[in-house]
Structure formats: structure tokens, C-alpha cells
Copies of this chain bind each other. A is one copy, B any other.
Amino acid sequence: MMQGVLEIPEELQRLQEVVASGFERVEEVFATQLVSDLAPVDQMCEHVERYRGKMLRPMLVLLCGAASRTDLESILRSDSLDSIIDDAHITCGAVCEMVHMATLVHDDVLDEAEIRRRGKTINAMKGNETSVILGDYLIASAYELCSSLDSPIPSRIVGKASAVMCTGELLQLHNRNNFELDEPTYFQILERKTAALIGAACELGALSTLGFDQQDHPITHALKGFGCDLGVAFQIQDDVLDLTGTLETVGKSVGRDLDKGKLTYPIIHHLSNATSATRNKSLELIRAAAQGDQSQLADLIDLINETGSIQATQQMAQTYVDRAKARLSDIPEGPGRPMLQLIADAVVNRTH
């Protein structure tokens, strides 16, 4: 995400190099933790690679770790760059990515169920079982790795965030095909499903620098809050892309939320702002999409645009990004702040 997509200005290059070298260590720890003495397990873990995403969470751990230092600027000018990111940051980064990947693997179980509904069976089923256990293996490995740290506090944070994530998923599942889903519930789902782990990643970054007993430190609070707001913005943007993107730009099939009967912000905003006639027409198209008929998705998007709901959604994402950035006034001045601001802006400006 950082390289390529982000334009890193000259003065942040050195910080970017530090984070990039931390990334390599995260990847090493990640791979080492999953190695098993059983060949079949190793074989199955190779599949995990295909879930590798943007590494947003490890990046936030590393950057928040760096940004928590009051001496970041002077250290970046010195030769002891290695001291900025230590083993705790690396461990926490790998743990967050592992937990995130476990949710992707388990989401896949639900998706494969969908595919099966339309035809494929036995092979998809074998994949299904493997996905369940592989996801469990990732979660267990994440906890094992996290508990290798001296303090039980990171385990507490990760355990809590994971449990909250599950309640978000359960709440979402409970509201499947609820075409009257309201805004507060939508945000409750987002805060739990997505924001909790991203907030935890930022918190763990801060604590890895400040000490794990510093959960009440203002910097910890600020960065955890930054992560939570950013997480909400991130998920809102995901929801927009699922509706307006294409397979080509997003890299995965679009319209999946509707297909699963999941109402997202653009739809919720649209339904509560449309005329009664439009609302009925839209509901018809939404119901059709939820039943697997995506042929009228373009018509639905036209209706959604009539109420300006895509724009309103992007504005909402921007509001959360602004809120996230405002939190950064409580962290030390220096290159950490503008770098985190860049990341925050990238979250809403991304097209995939």
C-alpha cells in the first residue's frame, strides 16, 4: 500500500525505509510461526498466501510504534535506525495480520457456500472444511505468537479485539436480508467488524514503544482512536468500492454485499432519502440482488445516485478520516504525524 500507491515526500523517505525493513521482519516471523513439522500442514498453509492483502495492520503497528517516539526525528538522522522498531512491534504486526487473515479465510467459507449453492459441490466442500481449520490454525498461531511476549496485555488486547470482531460478524449475520437496517446498527457492525482490530493494531504499536503498561497514556489513546476512526473509514470505502468498483479495479467480484443480503451505507442513505416510489423500486432491485440476480445492478446504482448517496457515503468516509487525523494532535510532532496523515488520506482515495 505504501509503495506504489502512496507518493512519499522526500522528508519521509527515511521513515518509509525503516518501515519497509520492518515489513520484511514481519513477513519472516509470520512465515516462521506457521511452519509445522507436518508436510500436509505446510502444504495447506501455502494456500494462505493467496489471502495476503495490503498489510495495512502491520504497517499501522510499525508506524504507530515509530510515531510514539518523541525522538523520532533525531533517531532517523542517526545510524541506529534498528532501535526504532524492536521485536515487540514485529511480533504485534505479525499477530494482527494473522488474525486478519484468519477472518478472510473464514469469510471464504461463507463465500464458498454461496458458490456451492449455484452448483459446485464436493470440491468446494473439501475447500470449505480446509478453510475452517486453516482459519482456526491462523487464529491459534496468532495467539501463540502474541503470548510469546513477556506481558499478557497484548494477548488481552488481541483476544478482546477478536471477540469484538466476532460479535460484529454475528450482528451482521443477524441482519442479513434486513432491508430496514438503520445507520446506528450499520456503524455498530463496522466498529466491531473492522475498526476494533485496526484500533488494536495502532494501540499495540504505541504500547510496543511506550511499554505495555501504558494503556492509559495519551499517545496510546490518541493512536487507538486514530485506528478506530480509520477502520470505520476504511470499511465505508470498501462498501463503496463493492458497489461502484469493477472486477478489474477492485480485484475481486463486486456486488457481493448485496448478494449476501448485506445493506451498506450507500443503500441505507439512499433508502432513507428516496421518494416512496423510488424507494419501492430500489427495494425490488435490492431484493433481486440479494437473491442472486445481479443483472439490474446498474439500474440500482443509477437510482442510488439520484439521492446523491454515493457522494454522501464518500463524505461520511472523509468525516471519519478527518476525525482520525485530528487525533494525531496528541502524538509527538515529527515525521510520524504526516506519515499517518498520508495513510489516512490514502484509505479514502484508494480504488482497490
Contact = CB atoms under 8 A, between A and B. Distances in A.
Interface of A: 36, 38, 40-41, 43-44, 102-103, 106, 109-110, 113, 117, 121-122, 125-126, 128-130, 132-137, 139-141, 143-153, 155-156, 158-160, 162-163, 165-167, 169-171, 173-176, 188
Contacts of A148: 152, 156
B40 A133 contact: no
Given A143-B158, A147-B147, A171-B40, A125 B136 contact: no
B137 A110 contact: no
Given A113-B125, A132-B110, A38 B162 contact: no
Nearest to A113: B125
B137 A139 contact: no
Contact of A143 (B121, B143, B153): B143
A44 B170 CA distance: 8
A160 B129 CA distance: 21
Given A106-B133, A141-B163, A150 B147 contact: no
Given A132-B110, A133-B173, A171-B41, A147 B152 contact: yes
Contacts of A152: 147-152, 155
A152 to B, nearest CB: 4
Given A125-B113, A129-B173, A130-B173, A166 B137 contact: yes
Contacts of A110: 128-129, 132
Contacts of A106: 132-133, 136
A170 B124 CA distance: 16
A121 B118 CA distance: 11
Nearest to A149: B152
A133 B38 CA distance: 27
Contact of A146 (B117, B159, B173): B159
Contact of A136 (B38, B134, B137, B166): B166
Contact of A174 (B40, B144, B151, B166): B40
21 contacts: A36-B167, A38-B188, A40-B174, A40-B175, A41-B167, A102-B136, A103-B136, A106-B133, A109-B109, A109-B129, A113-B125, A133-B173, A134-B166, A135-B136, A136-B162, A137-B166, A139-B162, A140-B163, A143-B159, A144-B163, A148-B152
Contacts of A44: 170, 174
B140 A165 contact: yes
A277 B41 CA distance: 35
Contacts of A160: 144
Nearest to A161: B140
A170 B41 contact: yes
A117 B109 contact: no
A41 to B, nearest CB: 5
Contacts of A158: 143
Contacts of A145: 159
A309 B128 CA distance: 34
Nearest to A157: B147
